[in-house]
Amino acid sequence: MDLFLDVSPFWYMFFNVFVVVLSLMFLKLFLRCWILPVRAQKKLGENGFSGPPPSFPLGNLNDMKKLKPALVMEETSKSSTIINHAIHSIALPHFALWQQQYGKVFVYWLGIEPFVYVADPEFLSVMSKGVLGKSWGKPNVFKKDREPMFGTGLLMVEGDDWTRHRHIITPAFGHVNLKAMKSMMVESTNNMLDRWAMQINSGNPEFDMENEIIGTAGEIIAKTSFGVKGENGTQVLKNLRAMQFALFNSNRYVGVPFSNILAFKQNRKASKLGEEIDGLLLSIINERKRSVLEGDDHHDLLGMLLKADKGKFTATELIDECKTFFFAGHETTALALTWTFMLLAMHPEWQETLRDEIRQVIGDSEIEYNKLAGLKKMSWVMNEVLRLYPPAPNTQRQARKDIEVNGRVIPNGTNIWIDVVAMHHDAELWGDDVNKFKPERFDGDLHGGCKNKMGFMPFGFGGRMCIGRNLTTMEYKIVLSLVLSRFEISVSPGYRHSPEYMLSLRPAYGLPLIVRPL
Ligand code: HEM
Ligand SMILES: *[C@@H]1O[C@H](CO)[C@@H](O)[C@H](O)[C@H]1NC(C)=O
Ligand SMILES: *[C@@H]1O[C@H](CO)[C@@H](O)[C@H](O)[C@H]1NC(C)=O
Ligand SMILES: *[C@@H]1O[C@H](CO)[C@@H](O)[C@H](O)[C@H]1NC(C)=O
């Protein structure tokens, strides 16, 4: 008769346990994917935050994907011949549209993750007043998503760990150390310029400037971060770039439950490359530890960390910091230079102005670190480029406690998305000439005449501001001085203006320029 009960009480038990475990897992999932997000939405609504209605499980991702091609087509058909600096609606069409509907602060959803969108510097300054650098989190979704790139390096680490890391790393970016990096930067740049001269001599004056600069900036950051040159350097550099592309060239659904299963192949490729990179970096670190003991002096960030830290960082932490320097430092700097070349190509009068300044400040002698600060107009140009085309087009946080802003509460756990491009292009903050290239607005004013100091933040804000900004400024000035002293640039007829948001802000079709020797 009752075969099931009779024959195997064991299986019966097993079945029961199985059902209980499954139900618990399901409950947990239900809680995480449904109850908690719905509760978060309700709370945000009660606190006066509205926004585009999300759907399950994609949140507003579908709207973002749909809006993009439609609006971008419309914009690019208008602007492919005229270079238009009003780029917010080209690069971030969904935010431009939602801003019109919901204002400068609203809520949108990446999958089941709520984000408070902020493009109002007043809101931002009130919000950040009560929060210390170490009390801010970085969104858990991004930490997971970008783990092969940044690990728990300075960019992602939180709390007391962040304080400790920042404290150990800060001296590595000090003036004495930066000074020692000068010759590495000059060498890589001159190699690039010699290549240019040869190519021009052979009759081809057109260059994809983005490619050129990214290659050189990658070489510079590899040398200044962990001192790798030659074969191993090329290998690390190649793997690092390949990993970035594996992670970001795929169709990704950040914040959507189980989306990592969809991107399984890419994720596996990225983590395999990640392991390979870790291995290469580890061998570099070990080699370096030996040579430091032998009294060898390496003037790169890794060498300075090893000297400063005296064993306070584990090998894994050192690897993560090296990767962080690379990913946070090379594309951002390269894009700042790339957009500068586009703007200078459009404005030959500024090329002349800068050439005059370079002649006066540096003359015909070798570039000296101490003289770079004297390139004042070049600083204006750099700031104006970072304003119009910020290479880091947004900054994110995650609340680790309830944060009150003007009586409205942002609940613990809510993500915050600060739209830097929007603030940098806001006529209410900058005036009617907001979309004009006018470096002189930074003459004697660090904030370029912006009505709110937090309206200009290419390097982030508060205690977590970019640690590499002096290194970047130095590299920018060295590369630009060397280029402008030898060449004159103009826009190629093949250039199509289409700034694109892909983690950073880059020209979608590259930047072909015509280069002539002076
Ligand atoms: C034009 C070039 C650069 C731009 C636009 C830029 C932008 C930024 C921004 C916006 C942040 C703040 C991120 C946040 O608050 O979430 C940041 C942080 C950071 N940047 Fe940069 N960066 C540049 C160059 C560099 C370079 C050259 C390095 C290193 C070699 C670097 C290393 C870092 C690190 C480690 C952090 C994390 C700091 C912290 O959280 O304490 N950056 N950067
Ligand atoms: C490259 O790294 C390997 C160890 O992984 C080392 O044996 C070799 O000497 C390095 N080559 C160069 C050129 O640094
Ligand atoms: C915020 O939420 C996290 C995770 O839900 C929790 O661990 C933490 O204790 C909360 N913080 C505060 C201050 O309530
Ligand atoms: C950059 O240099 C300036 C002075 O030239 C200094 O005040 C500032 O603290 C430096 N910033 C960093 C992040 O080292």
Please give the pLDDT value at position 135.
79
CA-wise closest residue to 29 among 95, 105, 112, 102: 112
144: Cβ below 6 Å to ligand 3?
Answer: no
131 φ/ψ sector (left φ>0, alpha ψ -120 to 50, else beta): beta
Enter the tokens of residue 21.
């475990």
- Residue 17 falls inside a structural domain: yes
Please give the pLDDT value at position 72.
60
Mean pLDDT by 10 residues, the chain (518 residues): 62 88 90 87 93 91 78 57 86 94 96 96 92 86 88 94 93 92 95 97 97 93 81 78 76 76 80 87 86 75 80 88 91 97 97 98 94 98 98 96 92 96 98 97 97 97 95 98 98 92 89 97
Helix count and strand count (H, E) for the chain:
23, 11
Concatenate the DSSP letters of all residues of 411-460 into one string.
-TT-EEEEEHHHHHT-HHHH-GGGGS--GGGGTT-TTTT-SSGGG--TT-
- Residue 279 falls inside a structural domain: no
- Residue 22 falls inside a structural domain: yes
Enter the tokens of residue 186.
């000059």
- Residue 238 falls inside a structural domain: no
Residue written as tokens 């408070």?
116
Q: Could you tell me which residues are annotated as the binding site? A: 466
Burial label, 90 (beta-carbon count in 10 A; 0-12, 13-18, 19+): buried
Atom of ligand 3 nearest to the CA of 401: 13
Which domain, by its residues, includes 86? 11-139+396-438
The rounded Å distance from CA 470 to ligand 4 centre is 6
Atom of ligand 3 nearest to the CA of 412: 1
231: Cβ below 6 Å to ligand 2?
Answer: yes
Please give the pLDDT value at position 79.
52
Residue written as tokens 């290549």?
195
Q: Could you tell me which residues are annotated as the binding site for heme? A: 466
3-state helix, strand, coil in the chain (%, to 5): 65, 10, 25
- Residue 251 falls inside a structural domain: no
Nearest CA to ligand 2 atom 14: 232
Contact yes or no for 344/350 (Cβ under 8 A): yes
401: Cβ below 6 Å to ligand 3?
Answer: yes
173: Cβ below 6 Å to ligand 4?
Answer: yes
Enter the tokens of residue 340.
């500068």
Nearest CA to ligand 3 atom 6: 400
Contact yes or no for 497/84 (Cβ under 8 A): yes
Distance of alpha carbon 191 from alpha carbon 189, whole angstroms:
5
CA-wise closest residue to 289 among 263, 256, 267, 318: 318
Q: What is the per-residue burial (b if ≥16 Cβ within 10 Å, else e) of 418-452?
A: bbbbbbbbbeebbeeebbebbbebbeeeebbbbeb
470: Cβ below 6 Å to ligand 4?
Answer: yes
Distance of alpha carbon 76 from alpha carbon 94, whole angstroms:
16
Please give the pLDDT value at position 271.
85
- Residue 473 falls inside a structural domain: no
Please give the pLDDT value at position 13.
86
CA 249-34-21 angle, 5° bins: 100
Whichever domain contains 28, its CATH number is 3.30.43.20
The rounded Å distance from CA 278 to ligand 4 centre is 31
Atom of ligand 4 nearest to the CA of 469: 13
> What total of structural domains would you count in the chain?
1
The rounded Å distance from CA 468 to ligand 1 centre is 6
Strand, helix or coil at 106?
A: strand
34: Cβ below 6 Å to ligand 4?
Answer: no
The rounded Å distance from CA 185 to ligand 3 centre is 45
Concatenate the DSSP letters of all residues of 255-278 into one string.
TSTTHHHHTHHHHHHHHHHHHHHH
Atom of ligand 4 nearest to the CA of 465: 13
467: Cβ below 6 Å to ligand 4?
Answer: yes
- Residue 378 falls inside a structural domain: no
- Residue 217 falls inside a structural domain: no
Atom of ligand 1 nearest to the CA of 397: 16
412: Cβ below 6 Å to ligand 3?
Answer: yes
CA-wise closest residue to 137 among 500, 355, 403, 378: 403
**Which helix (H) or strand (E) is 396 found in, with range?**
strand 394-398
